[in-house]
A and B are shown apart, each in its own frame.
Chain A
Amino acid sequence: MGLFSKIKNYITGGAAEVSVVFENPKTDGQEPMRLFVVANARDSCKIKNVYLEIRGMETYKKRETRTSTDSNGNVTTTTHDVTTHHKHFEKKMVLDEDVQMQEGEERKWLGEFDLPTDALPTYHGKDCFMKWEVFAGLDMPGNDPDSGWVEFFIQKEMNYDINNTNGAF
Chain B
Amino acid sequence: MGLFDNIKNYVTGGAAEVKLELESATLIEEQLLKLTIAARPSSDTIHAKKLYLEVKALESSSTKNVRYQKDYVVESEIQINEGNEREWTFEVELPPEAPATHIGKHFSLEWGVKAGLDMGGKDPDSGWVRFVLNKEMDYSIKNS
Contacts and interface: CB of A to CB of B under 8 A. Distances in A.
A151 interface: yes
B104 A127 contact: no
B132 A165 contact: yes
Given A121-B137, A162-B132, A58 B112 contact: no
B103 A155 contact: no
Contact of A165 (B99, B110, B135): B110
Given A123-B137, A130-B102, A162 B62 contact: no
Interface residues of B, number: 40
Contacts, number: 123
Contacts of A155: 136-139
Interface in A39-63: 58, 60-63
Contacts of A120: 102, 104
A61 B62 CA distance: 5
A7 interface: no
A151 B59 contact: no
Interface in A113-151: 120-128, 130, 151
A61 B104 contact: no
Given A60-B104, A60-B107, A168 B134 contact: no
Contacts of B26: 160-162
A68 interface: no
Contact of B134 (A60, A130, A159, A169): A159
Contact of B63 (A25, A81, A123, A130): A81
Contact of B61 (A124, A127, A153, A169): A127
A165 B101 contact: yes
Given A86-B106, A157-B28, 17 more contacts: A63-B62, A81-B62, A123-B139, A126-B67, A127-B59, A127-B61, A151-B143, A155-B139, A157-B100, A160-B101, A160-B103, A161-B26, A162-B26, A164-B103, A165-B103, A165-B108, A168-B112
28 contacts: A25-B140, A26-B140, A58-B104, A60-B61, A61-B61, A81-B63, A120-B102, A121-B100, A123-B102, A123-B139, A125-B59, A125-B67, A127-B107, A128-B109, A130-B102, A151-B143, A153-B139, A153-B140, A157-B28, A157-B100, A157-B136, A159-B134, A160-B101, A160-B103, A165-B110, A165-B132, A168-B110, A169-B56
Interface of B: 25-26, 28-29, 56, 58-65, 67, 99-110, 112, 128, 130-132, 134-140, 142-143
